[in-house]
Amino acid sequence: MHEEIEVIESGYEFLLAYAAQGRETDKGSEAREILSGMSVAADTIVGALGDEDAEFPEVVVADAKKAGAAMRLVLNQDKISSELVDNLNASIHLRALLTDLFLLSETENQT
């Protein structure tokens, strides 16, 4: 799951830069590819943690589902503008997933 965490974290960094570019469309950018990878990573996290019977994995799964839905909404648009990505970046669902993954990574590093 470390790979999926890295995909989401690095993808978010890309999206922050993309949002600042003032683009009207994603043509000529990697935005759609990055978002697709992030969406797949979120789905993989759901699959990996979905069967665990513990409180925090349940939280991560719920947040990954919500963030994945938001990413798929953006991916389903004909054009992915900087403004649209900026709104995705501000989404509480994506931010919650990122925070969950940071916490999960840190607790794994403690053991």
pLDDT digits (tens), the chain, 111 positions: 889 999 999 999 999 999 999 999 999 999 999 999 999 999 999 999 988 888 999 999 999 999 999 999 999 999 999 999 999 999 999 999 999 999 988 887 766
What is the distance between the alpha carbons of residues 12 and 37, in angstroms, rounded to a whole number?
11
66: tokens are 């919500």
51: tokens are 């069967």
Read off the pTM.
0.93
Name the residue range of residue 73's domain: 2-110
The strand ranges marked E within 3-105 are none
Give how many domains the chain has, as a whole number: 1
C-alpha distances (whole Å) from 75 to each of 5, 42, 55, 88, 110 are 20, 14, 30, 11, 36
